[in-house]
A and B are shown apart, each in its own frame.
Chain A
Amino acid sequence: MRWFPTFGFQRRKRELQEEIDAHLQMAIADRVARGETAEAARQAASREFGNIPLVQDVARDMWGQAWLEQLGRDLRYALRQLRKSPGFSITATAMLAIAICANSTVFSWIDGTMLRPIPGARDTGELVSLQRGERNFSPVPPFSYLDYRDLREQNHTLAGLLAYHHDWITLTGGAQAQRVFIANVTANYFDVLGIKPVLGRFFLPEEETRPDAVPNVILSYSLWKTHYAADPAIVGKSIEIARHPVTVIGVAPEGFVGAMPGLRDDLWVTLDPLGTDVWRITHRSGGAVWLNVIGRLRPGVSRDQAAQDLDTVMHHIVAEYPDDHLGENRITLDPMWRSPFGANGYMAATLPILLAFAAVVLLLTCANVATLTLVRFVSRRRELAIRQSLGANRMQLVRQMVLEGVVLSIAAGAVALVLTSWTSKTFAWFFPASSAPIILNGSMDHNVVIGIAVSSLLAGMLCGALPAWRSSHAPAIEVLKAESASVTGGSRNRKLLSALVVAQIALSLPLLLCSGLFLRTLRNLADANPGFEQDQILTATVGLNIAGYSNNEQQVIRHKILDRVSTLPGVKVATFTDWIPMSLTQKKEDAYPEGYVPRPHESLKVAHVEVGPRYFESLHIPILEGREFTPDDDEKAPKVLIVDQTAARRYWPGQDPLGKKLRVWGMLFTVVGVAINSRHMFVNEAPEPMVYMSFFQQGYETIVQVETEGNPADLEPAVENAIHGVDSRLPVFDVRPMRETTQLASSFAVIESTLAGMFALIGLILAITGIYGVVAYRTQMRTHEIGIRMALGASRANVLRLVLVQGLWLTGIGLAVGLAFALGLTRFIARLLYGIGANDPVTVVSVVMLLGAMSLLACYFPALRAMHRNPVTAIREL
């Protein structure tokens, strides 16, 4: 076996052989010339030359390649040693592989989401997402077009500023309308992101707000591939969107799916392609605030500088148009990896913590493998001592032993690499089908491979170096001479073993505690009352607003749908809404109570939803005062509102809210009812005001909401058929029980508790096997001593105590250190918990009890074995 063969090395080796051959030939020739026979001459010459391999060896040393050969030799030796104990090798490799895989999996998720926020975009580190007003976890689009344009033109710190708005639309023209996600974008959108078309062109500056008779559209690569069979002549062709002809002018490159992390755009158009958005792009408030904005920093400009610059520009805008900017207007910038728009806000709150957990698992595993390695080295101390006395210096021994650890960890890294290529793709499992085009998954690229290499090398050093350094300390002569005196492997090794066991227990405790807290959070979330009954609710989205129907057509169709669905057997109540709670989406608007003077910088944003008659009845949300909406609350009737308790208390504290007026979109709405509070986004949210408007007055999206008598899933086909019975071309989507949609709100709690639970289980197993292994090993080493004790009259109980006490000491210290560690750490996850304190005493006590009991059990078995030993055979055994 040859390691690191190099061309030069091979050449020199060959030349040396040739040189020696030439030498021998000349010597033979001389001898033959002097009259010797050929055979005798050959023998004499080679005898005279001496040991050829030795010459080769010494010469090779001269070439300075010795260390390579030595490394090869050490490596071969390490492999041989590992082959000799396959049990150890396989166990250690498997444990390390799992621990490395835990890290690389979480890292691949971070890599695929936070580190690649906009796939395909150039230098995403320079991109910042802009937020206006109070910082919010799930903000709505913050800018109007005019404000955006002023910011774009007047800033001094950005190389470019883009804006977009996206929504569903339908691709019509085929047999069945297909729903796609479309984005209205500024002309510089692709430029600022640094995206080049694979076909055709992107938008021109003059097209940004220009309506066209036949608007231009850009296709995403995947839509072009799946829907148009990758037609190379697609550019210039006409397609139909929402029953409107449009011209394809370009195709975006593969992988690019839009500027909002985690969501997939299929189509891009300009801001006002049909001329229907004129109002939206010529106003600064209300419904005209519809754009998400992303900027690219100029080289050398920091995020803070840019934020200050933009804030100054915004100040001027606010001063000029104070009526359009009543609330808080401060501008804040976020890097894309934690941009609150899209998925990364959630990712940034969850994944780094999980990566930290995984790192603890890796540390724990290293401690465990180091324990095994140390025990192995102790049992090999005779061999090590002999090699030392034969002239191996300490450095060589250490190098050898470290190499064994490195070989193990490299093997583990390779296994982890294979595993991760699969586990990285499991991230998508956590996101059930929903009404948002979520596209989230881990990615397996060079970053992940580097991560695996680094963590496996670190692990190898950790679990090889420490024991190796310790073991190489043993004075050779004493080991060889006085075998029995150092049966426990010397006090130094004993201390290191103890420290490693303590470390394992101390590291596993925080893992267990955090997973306990997460699991209880998940249970609390599931048990929590969101304020509405969702178990017998079915929802179905009808793409009326996105399929190109006129307003009048829409109203007629809506009434027809309601009539048909209401009469279906099994339907208790049918109604409309344009939003489903706890689906990670939210609709917000500025609202001004009549006569209310907002404090400066007070945010007036309020969440709203448009709901049909009997909506509250179907969800079992009690109306405290006033009435529900009725079918008569339509476009012709006066505008009405129902507020929840939070809104009532905020706008009209201590007064009767009924009959009060609220101005939204410049229109006055009269309060006709007060509903009890319910949850909007998450179970664990702080209560925020919510106003309900009448669906037949303000409804935008059409979602049919049905309360069923039995299992809502059973009614899915019937409801879909009933809608298609009104008009067979109506696009119907997302027909599913409400329970499935609201699960989205706890996706992250599920991710956290699943992974934390898995990590904690691994931690527990490692810690328990760790302490079992060490106590069992030590007890075995003390067999002789125990035999003597028993022969001198120690009772079995004494022996049991002897072994147990030693294990319990280790456990106790480990638990104490771990508890301090854990209590310090839990505050980092406090934000993610619900219904439970970060230092919840019940969880803390039960986790400590669990770990303590398991450790006790782990110590009990070796103690039991020691107790039942026959003293006579025990004494004989060495």
Chain B
Amino acid sequence: MNEKDQYKNRIDLLQGTLDMLVLQTLQWGPQHGYGIVQALRLRSGDVLQVETGSLYPALHRLERQGWVQSEWKQSESKQRARYYRITAKGKKQLASDLGRWERIVEAIGSVMYVKPEESES
């Protein structure tokens, strides 16, 4: 496997995570791009700073896959914006993403918290 392919895998992993986060945000109600960024920052206590350069392509990809739907609406501040809403298919995807995420976290956790003696045996 060459360098390029490895790079591609890294992107896939990040994309998967971002997709999950976006879908989760939309679980709480339809939202526009800026709103998603704000919501993620707020919920994560300013830790997750989503790159807009990744967000919009991700939103368009999710829409193409049928996991979200979009429509143009007026925001509370009278700003015309594109609102994304999660679909039934998206919810299913979110559930599977979450399951995968939990398995990864668990797996990484079990690696990270191994006791030294056990690893030597």
Query: Is A22 in contact with B80, judged by CB distance below 8 angstroms?
Result: yes
Task: Please classify how large the interface on chain B is, using the bins under 10, 10 to 19, 20 to 34, 35 or more.
Answer: 20 to 34
A226 and B112 CA atoms in complex are apart in Å by 100
Given contacts A19-B33, A49-B52, A55-B52, contact A26 B57 (CB under 8 A): no
Query: Is A50 in contact with B53, judged by CB distance below 8 angstroms?
Result: yes
Given contacts A19-B33, A50-B51, A62-B64, contact A26 B81 (CB under 8 A): yes
A29 and B79 CA atoms in complex are apart in Å by 10
* Residue from the list A16, A27, A30, A64 in contact with B56, Cβ < 8 A: A16
Query: Is B56 in contact with A19, judged by CB distance below 8 angstroms?
Result: yes
**Cross-chain pair count, CB within 8 angstroms:** 61
A26 and B56 CA atoms in complex are apart in Å by 15
Q: Which of B1-52 contact A (CB under 8 A)?
A: 4, 32-35, 38, 51-52
* A678: Cβ under 8 A from any B Cβ: no
**Residues from chain A with Cβ under 8 Å of B82 in the complex:** 15, 18-19, 22
Q: Is the interface of B mostly helix, strand, loop or mixed?
A: helix
* Residue from the list B60, B75, B79, B80 in contact with A59, Cβ < 8 A: B60
Can you offer 6 A-B residue contacts whose CB atoms are under 8 A? A16-B56, A23-B81, A58-B57, A59-B56, A61-B57, A391-B4
The 5 closest A-B pairs by CB, nearest first: A58-B57, A22-B81, A26-B34, A62-B60, A23-B34
**Residues from chain A with Cβ under 8 Å of B75 in the complex:** 26
A49 and B33 CA atoms in complex are apart in Å by 11
> In chain B, what residue has the closest Cβ to A56?
B56
Q: Which of A33-51 contact B (CB under 8 A)?
A: 48-51
**Residues from chain A with Cβ under 8 Å of B53 in the complex:** 50-51, 54-55, 58
Most B C-beta atoms less than 10 A away, residue of A26, A30, A61: A26
* B100: Cβ under 8 A from any A Cβ: no
Query: Is B32 in contact with A22, judged by CB distance below 8 angstroms?
Result: yes
New A-B contacts (5) at CB < 8 Å, excluding given A23-B34, A50-B51, A63-B60: A19-B82, A23-B81, A26-B34, A26-B35, A55-B56
Q: Is the interface of A mostly helix, strand, loop or mixed?
A: helix
Mask: chain B, 46-71; 1 = CB below 8 Å from A; 0 = not: 00000111001100110010000000
* A435: Cβ under 8 A from any B Cβ: no
Query: Is A62 in contact with B79, judged by CB distance below 8 angstroms?
Result: no
A15 and B63 CA atoms in complex are apart in Å by 14
A61 and B38 CA atoms in complex are apart in Å by 26
Mask: chain B, 79-106; 1 = CB below 8 Å from A; 0 = not: 1111000000000000000000000000
Instruction: Looking at the assembled complex, report how far the CB atom of B84 sits from the nearest CB atom of chain A, in whole angstroms.
Output: 10
**Residues from chain B with Cβ under 8 Å of A58 in the complex:** 53, 56-57
Given contacts A16-B56, A59-B60, contact A22 B79 (CB under 8 A): yes
**Residues from chain B with Cβ under 8 Å of A59 in the complex:** 56-57, 60
* A670: Cβ under 8 A from any B Cβ: no
A61 and B56 CA atoms in complex are apart in Å by 12
* A25: Cβ under 8 A from any B Cβ: yes
Query: Is A20 in contact with B77, judged by CB distance below 8 angstroms?
Result: no
Given contacts A27-B34, A50-B51, A55-B52, contact A62 B80 (CB under 8 A): no
> In chain A, what residue has the closest Cβ to B32?
A22
Binding site for B on A (CB under 8 A): 15-16, 18-20, 22-23, 25-27, 29-30, 48-51, 54-55, 58-59, 61-64, 391
> In chain A, what residue has the closest Cβ to B54?
A58
A22 and B74 CA atoms in complex are apart in Å by 11
> In chain A, what residue has the closest Cβ to B4?
A391
> In chain B, what residue has the closest Cβ to A30?
B38
Instruction: Looking at the assembled complex, report how far the CB atom of A39 sits from the nearest CB atom of chain B, in whole angstroms.
Output: 20
A30 and B82 CA atoms in complex are apart in Å by 18
* Residue from the list B60, B61, B64, B77 in contact with A26, Cβ < 8 A: B77
> In chain B, what residue has the closest Cβ to A50?
B53
**Residues from chain B with Cβ under 8 Å of A27 in the complex:** 34
* Residue from the list B35, B51, B81 in contact with A19, Cβ < 8 A: B81
A63 and B63 CA atoms in complex are apart in Å by 10
**Residues from chain B with Cβ under 8 Å of A55 in the complex:** 52-53, 56-57
> In chain A, what residue has the closest Cβ to B33?
A23
Query: Is B79 in contact with A25, judged by CB distance below 8 angstroms?
Result: yes
Query: Is B34 in contact with A22, judged by CB distance below 8 angstroms?
Result: yes
Instruction: Looking at the assembled complex, report how far the CB atom of A54 sits from the nearest CB atom of chain B, in whole angstroms.
Output: 6
Query: Is B57 in contact with A20, judged by CB distance below 8 angstroms?
Result: no
Most A C-beta atoms less than 10 A away, residue of B52, B75, B80: B52
A18 and B82 CA atoms in complex are apart in Å by 9
A20 and B35 CA atoms in complex are apart in Å by 12
* Residue from the list A16, A26, A64 in contact with B79, Cβ < 8 A: A26
Instruction: Looking at the assembled complex, report how far the CB atom of A46 sits from the nearest CB atom of chain B, in whole angstroms.
Output: 10
Instruction: Looking at the assembled complex, report how far the CB atom of B59 sits from the nearest CB atom of chain A, in whole angstroms.
Output: 8
**Residues from chain A with Cβ under 8 Å of B81 in the complex:** 19, 22-23, 26
A23 and B81 CA atoms in complex are apart in Å by 8
Most A C-beta atoms less than 10 A away, residue of B33, B35, B56, B77: B56
**Residues from chain B with Cβ under 8 Å of A22 in the complex:** 32-34, 79-82
A63 and B38 CA atoms in complex are apart in Å by 26
Instruction: Looking at the assembled complex, report how far the CB atom of B10 sits from the nearest CB atom of chain A, in whole angstroms.
Output: 16
> In chain A, what residue has the closest Cβ to B81?
A22
**Residues from chain B with Cβ under 8 Å of A49 in the complex:** 52
A25 and B79 CA atoms in complex are apart in Å by 8
A286 and B44 CA atoms in complex are apart in Å by 110
